[in-house]
């Protein structure tokens, strides 16, 4: 890279989420969450949330490592159930105290705290009492929780994300507590999604009201979709795949109303948005100061004729399947032009440039990448090193893509590697590692939980020091 396109105030960051790093799952009054319950179900074959990376007890050491790295921003989530163990009702002061310590230490170390209010870990009490997002009671509880966070932390924290990846979360049944025995599950999903939009609108509006110079935005799981060929129907299927998985969600946050194509689509498949007049007013209050993009891979779609034998057994009216709309059917296929990780994600830095250009031209909002990284196994050498050149390659190519997008005229103000330390992967426990810093544990052996900076940590340190101009150096 000959010249750096990154401005002096570009946020070089890294991230995590509460249930994936904190551990201390029942410490100091924290309540049970959906993330805990789902992790405990998998405890037989992978690590769970009980200890995770033990950030709950080791946050000082970790923040020191962040400072040594030169990190400008740390994106992390608050566990709603640490602040409200039941999700609503009584505040747990020890939870407030805990996050105050983290925020203060970050600021002392010149690291901007960037908080996500809700990262997949709904308090379980709300699931038992209201079936979670099915009920408007959960929307009210979330607004109260958001208000409590702004009032307690908003004097120091100015950047806020509401839900992590609503557009992805809504399609993952276990995170939403959607099971087949719940009747019309697709109608239930639409209701939950709608309630999350209401919660977003309320919480974003409260941020502007309660936090001086507060900025707020959604975080989106990006699904850049390519058509399998230049056949017009393949192209249309790619457009629809993006619309139903990502665009409808960004649009609804940004414009405070659902897009027409989405309303017509739901009508066509017999689903109902169930919006009240009051809901319309609430949705209009949604604020978006920036869009946070979580980017890992791209998708390729191939149009299927309605009579195609591949459709046998396919559930055609499912929002979850997202393989149908009034214009046809499609399937997700492998892109032969891309390499893939051992876990099947197709590595595609150009796709990030496409995503950033696409979102900026559609929504005209500043963008930040809040998740991007490589999840794979790492090997600790006898000398206690991790030579993760493969991770450096991945991050380097994506930072380059960001610089190209900036050169295209896109307003990108930050980049957070996923993740700072190794985390509990939501699907593969501690086998699949993302961190710049290794956590010395396996799924079943806690070992000493020692923090060991990987080669990628030292490489990223130099990138930050040189404002991006050293990305090609090893």
Residues recognised as catalytic: 165, 371
Phi, psi of 435 (to 5 degrees): -70, 160
Distance in Å, CB of 293 to ligand BG6, minimum: 11
Distance in Å, CB of 347 to ligand BG6, minimum: 14
Distance in Å, CB of 16 to ligand BG6, minimum: 9
Phi, psi of 185 (to 5 degrees): -65, -30
Q: Judged by CB, which is closer to ligand BG6: 185, or 345? A: 345
Question: Which residues contribute to the site for ligand BG6 (CB under 6 A)?
Answer: 17, 20, 164-165, 168, 221, 294, 371, 375, 425-428, 432
Contact 445, 70 (CB under 8 A): no
Distance in Å, CB of 47 to ligand BG6, minimum: 12
DSSP letters of 6-33?
Answer: --TT-EEEEE--HHHH---TTGGGPPPB
Distance in Å, CB of 165 to ligand BG6, minimum: 5
**Burial class, 269, CB count within 10 angstroms (exposed 0-12 / middle 13-18 / buried 19+):** middle
422 token code pair = 């190794």
Contact 371, 425 (CB under 8 A): no
Contact 16, 419 (CB under 8 A): yes
Distance CA 183, CA 202 (A): 29
Q: Judged by CB, which is closer to ligand BG6: 265, or 290? A: 290
Among residues 106, 95, 93, the alpha carbon closest in space to that of 15 is found at 106
DSSP letters of 122-141?
Answer: -BHHHHHHH-GGGSHHHHHH
Distance from chain centroid for Cα 306 = 34
Q: Judged by CB, which is closer to ligand BG6: 152, or 246? A: 246
Distance in Å, CB of 174 to ligand BG6, minimum: 12
Distance CA 189, CA 429 (A): 27
Distance in Å, CB of 375 to ligand BG6, minimum: 4
Angle at 121 between CA 13 and CA 252, to 5 degrees: 75
Q: Judged by CB, which is closer to ligand BG6: 225, or 425? A: 425
Q: Judged by CB, which is closer to ligand BG6: 165, or 378? A: 165
Q: Judged by CB, which is closer to ligand BG6: 18, or 63? A: 18
Distance in Å, CB of 294 to ligand BG6, minimum: 6
DSSP letters of 182-251?
Answer: GSSHHHHHHHHHHHHHHHHHHHHHHHHHHSTT-EEEEEEE---EEESSS-HHHHHHHHHHHIIIIIHHHH
DSSP3 helix / strand / coil % (the chain, rounded to 5) = 45, 15, 40
Distance CA 228, CA 331 (A): 10
Q: Judged by CB, which is closer to ligand BG6: 301, or 428? A: 428
Q: Judged by CB, which is closer to ligand BG6: 113, or 468? A: 113
Distance CA 416, CA 410 (A): 17
What lies within 8 Å, CB to CB, of 89 at 6+ separation is: none
């Amino acid at each position: 890279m000959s010249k750096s396109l990154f401005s002096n105030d570009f946020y070089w960051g890294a991230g995590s989420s509460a249930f994936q790093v904190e551990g201390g799952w029942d410490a100091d009054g924290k309540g049970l969450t959906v993330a805990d319950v789902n992790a405990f179900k998998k405890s037989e074959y992978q690590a769970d949330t009980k200890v995770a990376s033990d950030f709950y007890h080791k946050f000082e050491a970790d923040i020191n490592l962040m400072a040594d790295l030169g990190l400008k921003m740390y994106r992390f989530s608050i566990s709603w159930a640490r602040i409200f163990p039941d999700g609503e009702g009584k505040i747990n002061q020890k939870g407030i105290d805990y996050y105050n310590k983290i925020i203060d230490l970050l600021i002392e170390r010149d690291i901007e705290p960037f908080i996500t209010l809700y990262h997949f870990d709904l308090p379980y009490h709300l699931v038992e009492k209201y079936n979670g997002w099915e009920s408007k009671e959960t929307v009210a509880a979330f607004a109260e929780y958001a208000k409590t966070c702004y009032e307690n932390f908003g004097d120091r924290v100015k950047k806020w994300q509401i839900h992590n990846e609503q557009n992805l979360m809504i399609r993952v049944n276990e995170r939403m507590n959607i099971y087949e025995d719940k009747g019309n599950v697709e109608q239930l999903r639409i209701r939950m999604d709608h309630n999350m939009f209401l919660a977003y609108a309320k919480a974003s509006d409260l941020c502007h009201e309660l936090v001086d110079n507060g900025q707020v935005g959604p975080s989106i799981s990006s699904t850049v979709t390519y058509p399998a060929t230049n056949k017009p129907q393949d192209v249309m299927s790619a457009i629809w795949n993006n619309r139903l998985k990502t665009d409808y969600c960004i649009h609804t946050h940004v414009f405070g109303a659902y897009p027409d194509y989405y309303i017509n689509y739901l009508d066509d498949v017999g689903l109902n948005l169930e919006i009240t007049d009051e809901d319309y007013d609430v949705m209009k209050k949604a604020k978006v100061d920036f869009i946070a993009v979580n980017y890992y891979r791209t998708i390729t779609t191939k149009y299927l004729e309605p009579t195609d034998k591949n459709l046998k057994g396919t559930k055609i009216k499912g929002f979850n399947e997202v393989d149908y709309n009034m214009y046809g059917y499609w399937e997700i296929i492998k892109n032969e032009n891309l390499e893939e990780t051992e876990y099947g994600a197709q590595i595609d830095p150009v796709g990030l440039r496409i995503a950033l250009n696409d979102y900026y031209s559609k929504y005209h909002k500043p963008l930040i990448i809040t998740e991007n990284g490589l999840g794979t196994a790492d090997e600790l050498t006898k000398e206690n090193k991790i030579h993760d050149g493969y991770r450096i390659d991945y991050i380097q190519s994506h930072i380059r893509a960001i610089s190209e997008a900036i050169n295209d005229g896109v307003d990108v103000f930050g980049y957070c590697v996923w993740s700072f330390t190794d985390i509990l992967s939501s699907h593969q426990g501690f086998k699949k590692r993302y961190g710049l810093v290794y956590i010395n544990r396996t799924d079943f052996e806690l070992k000493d939980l020692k923090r060991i900076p990987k080669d990628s940590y030292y490489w990223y340190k130099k990138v930050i020091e040189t404002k991006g101009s050293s990305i090609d150096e090893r």
